Structure formats: C-alpha cells, structure tokens
Amino acid sequence: MSKEKVQIFDTTLRDGEQVPGCKLDTKEKLVIAERLDILGVDVIEAGFPISSPGDFRSVTEIAQIVKNATVCGLTRAVKKDIEVAAEALKQAKRPRIHTGIGTSDSHIQFKFNSTREKVLERAVEAVKYAKSFVEDVEFYAEDAGRTDNEYLARVCEAVIAAGATVLNIPDTTGYCLPEEYGAKMKYLKENVKGIEKAILSCHCHNDLGLATANSIAGVINGARQIECTINGIGERAGNTSLEEVVMILRQHPYLELDTDINSKLLYSTSQMVSQKMGMPVQPNKAIVGSNAFAHSSGIHQDGVIKKRETYEIIDPHDVGVDHSSIVLTARSGRAALAYRAKKVGYELTKVQLDKVYEEFLKFADRKKEIEDEDIHQIVDASNVNIESIA
C-alpha cells in the first residue's frame, strides 16, 4: 500500500519556546535542533529572528548546523522582519521564511484597525518580499480557524499567485471542532485556484484539547503538513503534539498517510526537551508519559501478561520505551504479583502465591506502590518456604 507523506513542521523552538519558563539559550536550542534533524522532521521552525538578538543568533547558528531539515524563521507581514529573517537564514541549506498576518474579522478590526482588502494587500506584499530572498515561503493566515472561509480562500489564492509554497491555516485560539477544521481544509482544496501549487498546513492549538484531533481532520481533508511540538508544548494549552500525530498515522495504515519520523527516538526526544525546558511531562500523556505503558489494575495486568496486545495498541519499543510496566498496587491481582516476583527471583507455586498475595494486600493498603525491594520483605513476612530462582 503506497502512503502519501505528511510533512512534520516542528515548532518546539518557536511556538513551544514561547511558554513562560521554557526559555532556552542558543546552546540548548542547537542540541534540540540537532536531535529534531535526526528524529526526521521535515522543517524546524528555529525562532522569530527579529524578536531579540538572542533569537537572531539562535536561528543563524541552527541554520548553519542542520543537515537535512528545512530551517524556518517566523516574521510578521513587515519588511524589516522579513529582511532580518532572510539574514539569519542565509547559511541554511534549505531556508524558509514563514510570514503572515491575522485574517479573522476580529484581528482585522481590533489588532490592525484595518479592512479585509488592506490586509489582503499586506499579505501579498509580504509574500512577494520574502520571495525576493528565498524560494520557499510559507504564509500563515493567523486566526484562520475563525476566519470566514470565502475570504480565507481569496487570501490563499492571492498569496499562491504571489509565490507562497505552503499555506498555514492556524486555529490560533484552539476553537475549531475537528469536523469544522477538516471542512475548512476541504473548502480551500476545492475553492482556491492554484491550490495544487501549494501545500496546506495544519497549525492547531489545544485550548479545548482538540489540537491533535483537528490536525488529523486537516490531513484527512487534504493538508500535507502538520505543525507541532515535542510533548505538545506551546502558547497557553499548547500546540499539537508531534508524537501523537506521528503515531496516529502509523497506527492507522488505512489512512494511507505517514511521516518520515523515526518513532524509536520519540521517547528520548521527549525526555530531552522536557529536561532542557524544565517542563515535566504529565504521567498520563499519550505516547511519552510515564504511565503510557504502565498497567495497574488486576484485570488489565492479567491480560497484558498473557498477551501484550490485549491492552496496548502500540508496542512500547516502537516509540523507544524498553518495556511495558506492571505496577503493583492494592488493585493488582495474583498474576501481576507472580510476574513481578519472578522478575526479582521468586518462582511461586499456586499455594505459595496465595499466601504471599495475602501479605501483599496488607502492604499495598499501606503503600501507594510496591517496589521490587518491598517484594522481598513481603515474601519474608509471608513465611512460606520459597527457593529463590535468581
């Protein structure tokens, strides 16, 4: 089955780094950029060069070291921003300028005190100007999620004619429902003249917890790039999480869409970003959270021990986690206790297991989680004559 490629545009170092407390210095950004390149992302949004001398330096240095991915710099639809971004990207093997402007009536009226016509003109001018520096120009229609589709289509048509290679349709406020966001992509695919010359891109925020679902709806309806971050970090409730969209496409082959991401590096990349940004990963985070492959209820544990697939839809090795874990709590059953006891050296007969399990429940009621060292104490306290197999 031949799959169509969805490009992964990573914005951990730009939208992700906008999170309060997640600021990185250039050295840290270089380490993450190198890792993203190895991970297999197609585009690294390295920063917003005009925003500070530090960001300018980071984009410049990332542009010099990245070997495979396109390196991208963000700008507003402002000449000076575009000039500074072009300068920072000068040494990139594959440079991209990402320019744009708000297109919703709310942005046009309250941010710019302008009109739809004037905003459209500024969009076109910005793309033309960016195009005088680089071949690859991505245009973002900020707040596209709340932009009238007909007007959005006119803007898209005009910027494609001006040379835009990628059209970013951000749900900046995370407001859209998946059906709505998917329908927006379909509308643009069907109503924008010249759309075959550009790639439609999803850029979804997570204010209602729908960023991943919206991005998937976007690609099902014709988009071929997803903008996302490691661990889903980003403004407010965050961006689409890279690891989630990559594994959704991989676990659903009938969609006939895939990315070039080396999924075995997902867990270690998640840990690296979390550690460098000082931003812990919530334990129940899909794919990379510490509980993503941990089983604690007796019924689930019994199933997983018999056959992993009974309660796991992803092989943990596929995302770089070396094993599923059987967590011992007061909700665990005999199968889990026997399994963990064997791992620390005790092969229990059925009779022995019954006795040890009784002792285990007393322990487990006092302690949230039973560790390997507790198992030795439990076995001792249960007074059964067990030969250690270790």
Residues that bind ligand KIV (CB under 6 A): 15, 140, 142, 168, 170, 172, 203, 205
Q: Which of Zn ion, ligand KIV, none lies near 94, with the C-beta cut-off 5 to 8 A by kind?
A: none
Q: Which of Zn ion, ligand KIV, none lies near 259, with the C-beta cut-off 5 to 8 A by kind?
A: none
Q: Which of ligand KIV, Zn ion, none lies near 35, with the C-beta cut-off 5 to 8 A by kind?
A: none
Nearer Cβ to ligand KIV, position 217 or 370? 217
CB of 182 to Zn ion, least distance (A): 19
CB of 15 to Zn ion, least distance (A): 4
Nearer Cβ to Zn ion, position 98 or 186? 98
Nearer Cβ to ligand KIV, position 203 or 340? 203
CB of 345 to ligand KIV, least distance (A): 53
Distance between CA atoms of 202 and 182, rounded to whole angstroms? 10
Half-sphere exposure for 243 (CA within 13 Å, toward CB): 27
CB of 139 to ligand KIV, least distance (A): 10
Nearer Cβ to ligand KIV, position 102 or 320? 102
Q: Which of ligand KIV, Zn ion, none lies near 142, with the C-beta cut-off 5 to 8 A by kind?
A: ligand KIV
Q: Which of ligand KIV, Zn ion, none lies near 9, with the C-beta cut-off 5 to 8 A by kind?
A: none
Nearer Cβ to ligand KIV, position 75 or 382? 75
Which residue has tokens 């661990």? 231
Please give the structure tokens belonging to residue 371.
């560790």
Nearer Cβ to ligand KIV, position 118 or 236? 236
Closest to 182 (Cα-Cα) out of 149, 145, 218, 128: 218
Distance between CA atoms of 238 and 222, rounded to whole angstroms? 24
Closest to 328 (Cα-Cα) out of 308, 347, 305: 305
Nearer Cβ to ligand KIV, position 241 or 352? 241
Q: Which of Zn ion, ligand KIV, none lies near 168, with the C-beta cut-off 5 to 8 A by kind?
A: ligand KIV
SS3 state of residue 176: coil
CB of 170 to ligand KIV, least distance (A): 3
Which residue has tokens 């072009």? 86
Nearer Cβ to ligand KIV, position 72 or 379? 72
Strand partners, 168: 140, 201
Q: Which of Zn ion, ligand KIV, none lies near 340, with the C-beta cut-off 5 to 8 A by kind?
A: none
- Report 34-63 residues binding Zn ion (CB under 5 A): none
Buried b (16+ CB within 10 A) or exposed e, 132-143: ebbebbbbbbbb
Nearer Cβ to Zn ion, position 15 or 42? 15
Q: Which of ligand KIV, Zn ion, none lies near 56, with the C-beta cut-off 5 to 8 A by kind?
A: none
CB of 19 to ligand KIV, least distance (A): 12
Residue number, nearest CB to Zn ion: 15
Distance between CA atoms of 102 and 109, rounded to whole angstroms? 10
CB of 271 to ligand KIV, least distance (A): 25
Which residue has tokens 């690859």? 136
- Cβ(195)–Cβ(188) below 8 Å: yes
Q: Which of ligand KIV, Zn ion, none lies near 293, with the C-beta cut-off 5 to 8 A by kind?
A: none
CB of 236 to Zn ion, least distance (A): 9
Which amino acid is residue 198, in one-letter code? A
Which bin fits 278, alpha (ψ -120 to 50), beta or left (φ > 0)? Answer: left
For residue 164, with 0-12 CB atoms within 10 Å meaning exposed, 13-18 middle and 19 or more buried, which class applies? buried
Q: Other C-beta atoms within 10 Å of 180: how many?
A: 14
CB of 172 to Zn ion, least distance (A): 6
- Cβ(62)–Cβ(36) below 8 Å: no
Check binding of 15 to Zn ion (CB under 5 A). yes
Q: Which residues contact 81 (CB under 8 A, 6 or more apart)?
A: 49, 50, 75, 99
The CA-atom distances, in angstroms, between 58 and each of 39, 61, 197 are 20, 5, 31
Q: Which of Zn ion, ligand KIV, none lies near 157, with the C-beta cut-off 5 to 8 A by kind?
A: none
Distance between CA atoms of 71 and 136, rounded to whole angstroms? 10
Instruction: Calculate ∠ Cα 215-221-227, nearest 5°.
Output: 30
Nearer Cβ to Zn ion, position 229 or 263? 229
Give contact residues for Zn ion (rule: CB under 5 A): 15
